[in-house]
Amino acid sequence: MNAPNDLSAFWMPFTANRQFKAAPRMLTSAEGMFYRTDTDREVLDATAGLWCVNAGHCRPKIVEAVQRQVAELDYAPAFQMGHPKAFELASRLAAIAPEGLDHVFYTNSGSEAVETALKIALAYHKAKGQGGRTRLIGRERGYHGVNFGGISVGGIVNNRRVFGPLVPGVDHLPHTHLPQNAWTRGQPEHGADLADDLERLVALHGAETIAAVIVEPVAGSTGVLLPPKGYLERLREITRKHGILLIFDEVITGFGRVGAPFAADRFGVTPDMITCAKGLTNGTIPMGAVIASSEIHDAFMNGPDHLIELFHGYTYSGTPVACAAGLATLDTYRDEGLFERTQELEDRWADMLHGLRDCRNVIDVRNIGLIGAIELQPMEGQPTKRAFQAFLDAFEKGLMIRTTGDIIAMSPPLIIEQEHIDRIGETLRGVLKALD
């Protein structure tokens, strides 16, 4: 029997378990912009958990909505049956989604939203009599969760390496992270033409074999890689020309993160499907969703099977507690004007980040909305070590940041105040100064 405080039983995800368990960092409570640790230290959350707590922690209205729902209707079967909040939340999501994206399919996570969108894409083409469209196209340095479809279209070698052979018929567009775009605020100037690589894949395989292209409008997990000006427009143009579906994975960029409901709004490009999760419930209850176009939905509604249109779903698709959390979260975003607030704060956030440009080892700073990245020169022969040391030091100084490779990434709750921005800047300056 393990003692209650024995750390050995829990196999932690995406964690160097041996290292963590030797020196654990435990969070025990949270409120607003802050976490508290088991040693009763306050930690300023500059990452909104894992890019998800957009309205800040433990917001009373969301907590109460969850508590009320779990006492009133804890669970309802997701198939052949409904409950009012699933319909209400779907309507609310459709209302804030870009025009034409009107139909919501619930999942429990971003990874499941990705799998669902990829499956809808293949089934859609079959429903339209184009069953030869089975190929999927992702992008280098893309992150689309950890299930088989997601790691196949994703472009992170460590997430793929030992799990092959993966989903067949997948290609990757080049990533858009170009050195000549270093130090850019917002969208960079160079690289729109990288979208033209899609024409090469069309010429290589034939448009009639390609189902969908999936990209993150801003790649988050691989280090905040922004779309060059004109790039997403070009992808939209080429996909439309060839009858290929375009999926925006907005698991990070959704719900105000870039100063609009979705990055699709910010960049003025409407895909055929959006995947979302995280900020959908402010991180409280696991939930994801695919928001699909009427064109896609109609293909299933008009298909031959009247009893069931899409053989896909989860026990917890649109579970009442998650829907209650989602509704209270959307209320909070609206009532507090958090998406507009993000827009207003973007410049001050960028000023703080770019103010760190002169720190030793900093080789790039980039930002959009309330997302920011500081890229460090990798340590000779020890890539990732420098940034990970920054993460450890920052945590010791009461600041939560994230790192990926040698990139520090931040995405604070959208309720952030100037004093927090200043504190993040000061703490990071100290941390970077002390690094080797």
Are 336 and 413 a contacting pair, CB within 8 Å?
no
Lookup: tokens for 59: 């917001």
Nearer to ligand PMP, 205 or 312 (CB): 312
Nearer to ligand PMP, 249 or 364 (CB): 249
Report the alpha-carbon angle 311-317-321, nearest 5.
Answer: 165
Nearer to ligand PMP, 269 or 277 (CB): 277
Are 251 and 276 a contacting pair, CB within 8 Å?
yes
At its nearest, how many Å lie between ligand PMP and the CB of residue 252?
A: 4
The separation between CA 275 and the C-alpha centre of its own chain, rounded to angstroms, equals: 9
**Coil vs helix vs strand at 74:** coil
Residues that bind ligand PMP (CB under 6 A): 109-111, 114, 143-145, 216, 220-221, 249, 251-252, 277
Nearer to ligand PMP, 114 or 415 (CB): 114
At its nearest, how many Å lie between ligand PMP and the CB of residue 259?
A: 18
Lookup: tokens for 252: 């990070």
* Residue that is written with structure tokens 């994206």 in the block: 101
Nearer to ligand PMP, 210 or 274 (CB): 274
Q: Round to whole Å and give the CA distance between 201 and 173.
A: 9
Q: Round to whole Å and give the CA distance between 427 and 175.
A: 31
In 274-337, which residue ranges form alpha helices assigned H by DSSP?
Answer: 294-301, 320-335
* Residue that is written with structure tokens 């520090």 in the block: 408
Nearer to ligand PMP, 207 or 263 (CB): 263
Q: Round to whole Å and give the CA distance between 23 and 29.
A: 19
Nearer to ligand PMP, 278 or 423 (CB): 278
Q: Round to whole Å and give the CA distance between 346 and 340.
A: 10
At its nearest, how many Å lie between ligand PMP and the CB of residue 414?
A: 17
* Residue that is written with structure tokens 């969850």 in the block: 66
Lookup: tokens for 304: 């031959």
In 23-177, which residue ranges form alpha helices assigned H by DSSP?
Answer: 48-51, 60-72, 84-96, 110-127, 148-153, 157-160
User: 402-404 and 407-410: which strand pairing?
Assistant: antiparallel
Are 294 and 103 a contacting pair, CB within 8 Å?
yes
Residue nearest to ligand PMP (CB): 110
At its nearest, how many Å lie between ligand PMP and the CB of residue 107?
A: 9
Nearer to ligand PMP, 402 or 423 (CB): 402
At its nearest, how many Å lie between ligand PMP and the CB of residue 5?
A: 27
At its nearest, how many Å lie between ligand PMP and the CB of residue 281?
A: 11
Kindly give the interhelix angle for 320-335 and 60-72, rounded to the nearest 10 degrees.
150
User: 170-173 and 135-139: which strand pairing?
Assistant: parallel
Nearer to ligand PMP, 222 or 427 (CB): 222
Nearer to ligand PMP, 116 or 332 (CB): 116
3-state SS of 205-232 is HCHHHEEEEEECCCECCCCCECCCCCHH
At its nearest, how many Å lie between ligand PMP and the CB of residue 223?
A: 12
Nearer to ligand PMP, 55 or 421 (CB): 55
β-bridge partners, 290: 105, 275
At its nearest, how many Å lie between ligand PMP and the CB of residue 80?
A: 26
**Coil vs helix vs strand at 297:** helix
At its nearest, how many Å lie between ligand PMP and the CB of residue 2?
A: 27
At its nearest, how many Å lie between ligand PMP and the CB of residue 131?
A: 27
At its nearest, how many Å lie between ligand PMP and the CB of residue 6?
A: 27
